[in-house]
Amino acid sequence: MKFQAPKGTRDFYPAEMAWRRWLEGKWRAVSIRNGFEEVEGPIFETLELYTAKSGDEIVNQLFQVTREGSDKIHAIRPEFTPTLARMVAEKANALPKPIKWFSIPNLCRGEQPQRGRLREFLQWNIDMMGIAEPIADAECIFTTVDLLSELGLAPNMVKVKISHRDVVRRILSRLGVADDHMVATFELLDRREKLPDDVFRERANAIGLDGTALERLDQVALVRYPTSEPWDQIKARIPLPESDLEDLADLHDKLRAFGIDDWCEYDLGIVRGLAYYTGTVFEIHEITGAERAMAGGGRYDQLIESVGGPPTPAVGMGMGDVVLSLVLQDKGLLPHDVMPQLDAFVIAAAEAAQSRVPDLVATLRAAGLHARFSYRSTTNVGKLLKEAAQHHARAAVILDDNTLSADTVAVKDLATGEQTDVPSAELTSALLHSRR
């Protein structure tokens, strides 16, 4: 019987695994230099933890796990934020504030696989807890932009679309949306760009919006406000009094102070689907709209309290690897070769040299060098050099009758073709020096 990987999952062969580790390295390096500390948690949690955060509707997106003889239901983690909230709630009083954590978990969701969305994927999360002011929102966005820049992306390729749920709620109230229709209107806004005009109008009419109110709602969903514009110009275009825009005004100042205003724009059609967001929300989109959101996040000030912790303001962001890799591929920014660099490929070009290979390889490895050798019985130098090149070796170390008698080795630079004889006792230092 022939087996295949489960639908919506991936096998990581050496080249794909090297790319994965390269990306994880970028995520980790950017997180650390921005002051975040790494955490991890279990790959499954009780089902109640996820429903406490996202409601019963998330059950259909989960892979559930039960043990025979137990009525306790667990679920493989579809996201990391509930675990993070539980961890903070457990030790809230002992943790220094602000809490700045990052994680790179493997996640699973029981969704229909499609372009940009798989059932198993990697996600980079950054979260700041303990700061209610917009400086935390701005720093979270700054760290995300730092990663985008690190990968070679630029403001003319991607945009951070920022909104604020309270601001949108106040605008909707002014348009006549009743409180009991607010959730449905948020969902409608969230899907505006994916809906044909007639479907949008039909759904808006169903929640009591038509005529001028419908036109204003459409404007809210589609108008963009570049953060590079002065705040006075932006606030004049938002139909709310200045007192209702204080958080957004403060965030605007911080984004400009961080120097990332050219990466961002206000898009009040961004409301994020999850009900636990309480203030600022944002998504990162490829500028042509060819792909789904690359990342998203926002403020969730009530989540930690809802899982048994003290009131704790929080803001976070999650970025999956699937859409990100598609965008990098489209922009020609995927690294060409991220396989581990091989320092030396040891070649025995004579029968008498073959017994020397294991000892020499062990010596190089003990010095921290990445060394390999051929498992072929051949002493054909041409074939062995070809094998060394296939392994992307920096150098071939050749042992033959002449080098054995002189207690030297021949070192061939596989990039330039230059070959030199090196005393055996100096080989390790010579290879370490050439690595710099």
- Site of tokens 């954590």: 101
Per-residue H/E/C for 15-40: HHHHHHHHHHHHHHHHHHHCCCEECC
Q: What is the pLDDT of residue 34?
A: 98
Domains of the chain, with CATH numbers? Answer: 14-330 (3.30.930.10), 342-435 (3.40.50.800)
Across 376-397, average pLDDT: 93
Q: In terms of residues, how long is the chain?
A: 436
The one-character DSSP state at 236 is: T
Nearest CA to 373 out of 397, 346, 351 is that of 346
Residue type, 282: F
User: What's the CA gap between 92 and 353, in Å, rounded?
Assistant: 63
Q: CA-CA-CA-CA torsion for 382, 387, 391, 397, nearest 10 degrees?
A: -50
Q: What is the pLDDT of residue 203?
A: 85
Q: What are phi and psi of 2, to 5 degrees?
A: -100, 130
Q: In what order do the strands lie in the sheet with 73-76?
A: 44-46, 73-76, 64-66
Task: Check pLDDT > 90 for residue 219.
Answer: no
Task: Check pLDDT > 90 for residue 274.
Answer: no
Across 258-273, average pLDDT: 90
Those residues with Cβ within 8 angstroms of residue 215's Cβ, 6 or more apart along the chain or in another chain: none
43-81: pLDDT as tens digits: 999 988 888 766 666 777 888 888 777 778 889 999 999
The one-character DSSP state at 196 is: -
- Site of tokens 């949306």: 177
Across 272-296, average pLDDT: 89
**Of 211-225, 226-240, 331-345, the least confident:** 211-225
Q: What is the pLDDT of residue 191?
A: 78
In whole numbers, what is the pLDDT of the chain averaged over residues? 91
Q: What is the pLDDT of residue 95?
A: 95
b (16+ CB within 10 A) / e for 147-180? bbeebebebebbbbbbbbbbbbbbbbeebebeee
110-139: pLDDT as tens digits: 888 888 889 999 999 999 999 999 999 999
Across 295-309, average pLDDT: 94
Across 150-161, average pLDDT: 97
Give the number of other Cβ atoms within 10 Å of residue 319's Cβ: 22
- Site of tokens 């229709």: 181
Nearest CA to 303 out of 37, 21, 47, 82 is that of 82
Q: At what angle do helices 165-174 and 211-222 cross, to 10 degrees?
A: 160
- Which secondary structure element, helix H or strand E, spans residue 407, and what is its range? none
Across 409-417, average pLDDT: 95
pTM of the model: 0.90
Residue type, 315: V
pLDDT > 70: what percent of the chain?
98
Q: At what angle do helices 182-190 and 165-174 cross, to 10 degrees?
A: 110
Task: Check pLDDT > 90 for residue 39.
Answer: yes
The answer to whether the Cα torsion of 76, 81, 84, 88 is positive or negative is negative
Across 323-339, average pLDDT: 93
Give the number of other Cβ atoms within 10 Å of residue 68's Cβ: 4
